[in-house]
Amino acid sequence: MTSLGFGVIGCGNFGGEFARILNHLEGTRTVAVVGGADDSAKLLSEELHCATAASVQELVARDDVDAVIVASPNHLHKQHVILAAQHGKHVFCEKPIALSLADCEEMIAACRSASVHMMAGHILHFMSGVQQVKRLIEHGAIGKPIVSHAERTGWQDKRAGTGWKQDPAKTGGYLFHFIHELDLVQTLIGRAASVVLAGSWIDPALQASSNPDHLLLTMEFSNGALGTMQYGSGFRQGGHFVKINGTEGAVLVNFKRSEIVVKSGNQIESFGINGRPDEDADRVNDYRKAEGKVVFTSPQTRPPLFLRKPMEAEMACFRDAIAGKPVDPAYISLFDGTSARSSIATAEAAMVSLGEQSWKRVRTYK
């Protein structure tokens, strides 16, 4: 396999790990990095013996860069993806792809115009248990999905911590920054058609400058199913799961236990989210250490094992697509814009609903 050169924009927790992965993955090498807090890019380049670009413009203009990993702060994704596409570089963009559907469409159009791949970084798709439960639902194991509920909640002291991840204008708020569950339920059930979102704050003094501490989202899906989702950092007793009930059974994706339980008729089947005992045990230990708190990653730490392995699978999939290999049908939605659009369109409609306090239709997309 011809070695492909990669540039990495954003040298934080995920960007740094993608750079490491690409530096040892067969057929790839990290040639340049840029961005990140403090000296993270410089330290990463010294670790990997690659170049440090002076700017994003310089990185995407390099002749030895075939593809770019966009792992910069959420609000910068659009400009970095479009700039890379304009220079003919394939793009992998971390979630959330954008902070509005219009931006998302512009990014997809720029990549199509340049005839380059754009892959959405929705990591749950690369966990074997998620793919297994997707197949089971598609094959009718739980009958017709009729109602779902998901939670991603914990506790965070809003008066502690600074940086872009504490700024809703840069993250998009909880629905955008923690968009995995919104992508997952639509991957397993189908597109959301309309939504309504309610929110509240524990401390009214912080209302003007922070995300709501509690978010409750209600969805109507295009196939008639209903769903609710809870998000927030004001939960002393939090939870992290996705539950789907159907006419013939049910699915529980329990992130804290790293376990998926499928009830189909009188049969009950369980398997790990990652599908490997060491990775699933690592996730359980990670939740135990967090002690119910909302945790934001930092450039000084590496992602845990249960994320590193799926990240390797993501990069191998991206590499193969660039090399001209057919994309596995299980991952087509990450390349054709489906996953990017559905999650962003739903999150956007929900935030509009929160402001207007009314049901909102989810905008249609191409």
Q: Give the helix/strand (H/E) hosting 200.
A: strand 192-200
Q: Is residue 36 part of a domain?
A: yes
Domain that holds residue 15: 4-121
What secondary structure letter does DSSP report for 73? -
| Residue pLDDT, tens place only, 12-45 | 999 999 999 999 999 999 999 999 877 899 999 9
Q: Are residues 44 and 140 in the same domain?
A: no
What's the pLDDT score for residue 162? 65
Q: Is residue 311 part of a domain?
A: no
Q: How far apart are CA 108 and CA 75, in angstroms?
A: 16
Q: CB count, 10 Å around CB of 357?
A: 10
Last residue of a domain, one of 94, 121, 148: 121
| Residue pLDDT, tens place only, 42-96 | 999 999 999 999 999 999 999 999 999 999 999 999 999 999 999 999 999 999 9
Question: Crossing angle, helix 277-290 and helix 305-322, to 10 degrees?
Answer: 130
**Cβ contacts of residue 95 below 8 Å, gap of 6+?**
120, 121, 122, 123, 179, 180, 183, 343
**Cβ contacts of residue 29 below 8 Å, gap of 6+?**
3, 4, 5, 6, 22, 23, 50
Cis peptide before 168 (omega within 30 of 0): no
**Cβ contacts of residue 115 below 8 Å, gap of 6+?**
none
Q: Residue 96 belongs to a domain with what CATH number? A: 3.40.50.720
Amino acid at 330: A
Is the pLDDT at 158 greater than 80? The verdict is no
Q: Could you give the number of structural domains in the chain?
A: 2
Q: Are residues 99 and 130 in the same domain?
A: no
Helix (H, G, I), strand (E, B) or coil at 176: helix
Last residue of a domain, one of 121, 145, 177: 121
| Residue pLDDT, tens place only, 184-238 | 999 999 999 999 999 998 887 777 667 788 999 999 999 999 999 999 999 999 9
| Residue pLDDT, tens place only, 294-350 | 888 777 789 999 999 999 999 999 999 999 999 999 999 999 999 999 999 999 999
Q: Residue 346 belongs to a domain with what CATH number? A: 3.30.360.10
Q: Are residues 44 and 177 in the same domain?
A: no
**Cβ contacts of residue 236 below 8 Å, gap of 6+?**
155, 292
What's the pLDDT score for residue 228? 98
Last residue of a domain, one of 78, 94, 121: 121
What secondary structure letter does DSSP report for 303? P
What's the pLDDT score for residue 197? 97
Exposed / middle / buried, residue 49 (Cβ in 10 Å: 0-12, 13-18, 19+): exposed
303 phi, psi to nearest 5 deg: -60, 150
pTM over cut 0.85: yes
